[in-house]
Structure 1
Amino acid sequence: MNDLVTDLDTLQGHVGKLPAPRDLKVIDYLDDNALRWLAAAPFMFAAVGDHGGIRVTAGGGETGFLRVTDPQSIQLPRSLLDDPGLAREGQGFGSLFLVPGIDETLRINGRVSSVSDGHIGVAVAECYLHCAKAFMRSGFWSATPIDGNVTADAAAFVAQSRFMALATIDKDGRADVSPKGDPAGALLKAHQEAVWYPDRPGNRRVDSFRNILTQPRIAAMAVIPGSLDVMLVTGVASVSTDETVRASFAVNEKTPKLVTRIEQTECILRRSEALSRARLWPAVQTATGLEPAEIFKAHIKLSRVRGAEAALARASVSIPGMMRKGLDHDYEKNLY
């Protein structure tokens, strides 16, 4: 198919270059900001996998439901995961931690270091904050609770979904969970015996795309905010420039530059006990001391990335109010 994107240079040509070094906001341990975030988070999306593929699940309970053993180690209670038997020692691990009412999310990636009867241990390799755009587009936190099952039909669930946690993994077993969000009907579509989703403006790290190019087996959890039902999707992904499909995902007269096709799909609808325990809706923002702009700034300063571009970026974010102003401008002008 001549619409397929199969190399990184072509991919980057479509989405644009990063304005700063790719890992500038990434640190390799849990700093005080991350610890406060985890203490306020009642819910997570998590993925584990290896060269054979990846699986995604959810975990949730009271705020601070996981245990931090040291700045580079966390323990997940298996009883609070929807799929407690999913992890194996040595697998890649990716996660996304949510704090009610805050559209940014904390991403923690690493390796499964241990699996016991009660806990899954994770060695932290990456920690960073993700931008708010997916949650803003989906209206995730403005949802009201939905009683009962939304639908028993997978196609109907696809049409109503507004948020998706996309799990990918590279050829070396490094896992990643990326948030995707859009209004209903603009997030996922069934077309040509495949499920499709669009690429929207984000942080331009293109982690998911990079992984798909080298290891195309993916997993995703689709969510209708307000509902406790989720849809698990697994399949083989490819990146496409298909004009017809891209046009079908246009929002506010803006057409995505790329779409992703998921073939050989398996879709499973089920109730998430983790969502039930976390009680995300109606969202009540009770966390204090979590200012995303300040966390972004702190992580940029703590990052081990060096060089002229990194130094310039650190100097820029050190200007009072500059990071907050930059985020507000980006969220307003580059949502689609």
Structure 2
Amino acid sequence: METIQDLQQLRSIVGEPGELTINKIYDHLNEQASDFITRSPFLVLSTVNEDGMPTASPKGDIPGFVHQADERTLYMPERKGNRLVISYQNVLATKKVGLIFLLPQCSETLRVSGHAELVTDEELCTKLDARGPAILLLKVTVTEAYFHCGKAFIRSNLWKPEHWPDASRISFGREIGDQIGKGADFVEDLDAQVLERYKDSL
């Protein structure tokens, strides 16, 4: 196995992007991007810590849950979660984010990169109250935005129910119980608590 060492070696394998592909990249949110965001109920938030270690976190709510103030400014509401705030610790450290917006049954995705900060604004937090007022806001100043083609979704048949596996659920009771040496009763009880939180604490 050979490790690719530099850009020249990488380009020798994958080639150069075409001129038209390069020209799809904007430094702001154009009309199509804005419309996509107003309809999107889900995104993946990517951040990096001060040591350069990345992480990605799913974020979702009602369609259009991310508020667009102008062509370069987005506000994403934060809801109740696990309080690890790993992504937000990274924002405090490096102030850089990447977002991928998804739209159900659409093969294309919207990629947005920019500078980020955590803010509080009582009026805007109250406005973004789909499930009660937001507890804080992630403000993103857009530096790059473009649509990614749909090949990954087409190849994976992601939006085709006939290709989906049987429904399943992860046991957080097992994940945590295995780590701290707890048995079946603990697993069953914690899994039941998680299901209740899904119903009552979104």
TM-score by length of structure 2 reads 0.76
The structure in which a higher percent of residues are helix is 2
In structure 1, distance between residues paired with 2:135 and 2:122: 9
Match of 2:174, SS?
helix
In structure 2, distance between residues paired with 1:334 and 1:208: 21
Distance verdict in 2 for CA 1:224–1:183, change over 3 Å: same
Residue among 173, 185, 188 paired with 1:297: 173
- Asked if 1:281 corresponds to 2:148, the answer is no
Deviation at 1:152, TM superposition (A): 6.4
- Asked if 1:212 corresponds to 2:91, the answer is yes
Match of 1:267, SS?
strand
Larger radius of gyration: 2
Match of 1:321, SS?
helix
1:160-179 alignment to 2 at 5 Å?
A: 160-179=39-58
1:160-195: CA deviation from partner (whole Å, max 9, x where unpaired): 111101100100111111000111122x12115411
Gaps of 5+ in 2: 6-12, 15-29
Match of 1:153, SS?
helix
Match of 1:173, SS?
coil
Residue among 233, 236, 245 paired with 2:124: 245
1:104-253 alignment to 2 at 5 Å?
A: 153-186=32-65, 188-191=66-69, 193-252=72-131
Aligned to 1:259: 137
1:108-137: CA deviation from partner (whole Å, max 9, x where unpaired): xxxxxxxxx69xxxxxxxxxxxxxxxxxxx
Contact 2:48–2:55, Cα closer than 8 Å, also in 1:
yes
Distance verdict in 2 for CA 1:152–1:229, change over 3 Å: farther
Aligned to 1:5: none
Number of equivalences: 175
Deviation at 1:154, TM superposition (A): 1.3
TM-score by length of structure 1 reads 0.48
Distance verdict in 2 for CA 1:202–1:283, change over 3 Å: farther
Aligned to 1:326: 193
In structure 2, distance between residues paired with 1:291 and 1:165: 20
Contact 1:165–1:177, Cα closer than 8 Å, also in 2:
yes
In structure 2, distance between residues paired with 1:185 and 1:235: 19
Once the two structures are overlaid, the 10-residue window that deviates more, 318-327 or 198-207, is: 318-327
Gaps of 5+ in 1: 1-87, 90-116, 119-150, 304-309
Q: Which 4+ runs in 1 deviate beyond 6 A?
A: none
Contact 1:198–1:260, Cα closer than 8 Å, also in 2:
yes
In structure 1, distance between residues paired with 2:143 and 2:124: 18
Question: Residue 193 of structure 2 aligns to which amino acid in structure 1?
Answer: G
Question: Residue 271 of structure 1 aligns to which amino acid in structure 2?
Answer: C
Equivalent pairs: percent with the same residue? Answer: 23
Match of 2:146, SS?
strand
Question: Residue 107 of structure 2 aligns to which amino acid in structure 1?
Answer: L
Match of 2:186, SS?
coil
- Asked if 1:272 corresponds to 2:139, the answer is no
